Amino acid sequence: MLKDMLNNIQKKSLKERFLLVLGILFFLIYLVLGLMIMFWEKLPLNMEPKYRYAFGGLLIVYSAIRFLRLINAKE
State the Cα–Cα distance between residues 68 and 72, nearest whole angstrom: 6
Assess if residue 67 is contained within a domain. yes
Assess if residue 18 is contained within a domain. no
Domain count, the chain: 1
Assess if residue 64 is contained within a domain. yes
pLDDT at 52: 92
Assess if residue 31 is contained within a domain. yes
Q: What is the pLDDT along the chain (75 residues), one digit of tens a residue?
A: 667 666 766 777 888 888 888 989 999 999 999 999 999 888 788 888 899 999 999 999 999 999 999 888 765
Residue 31: CB partners within 8 Å, gap ≥ 6?
59, 60, 63
Q: Which pTM was predicted?
A: 0.78
pLDDT at 70: 85
CA Rg value for the chain: 16
Assess if residue 6 is contained within a domain. no
- Residue range of the domain that includes 56: 27-74
Assess if residue 2 is contained within a domain. no
Assess if residue 32 is contained within a domain. yes
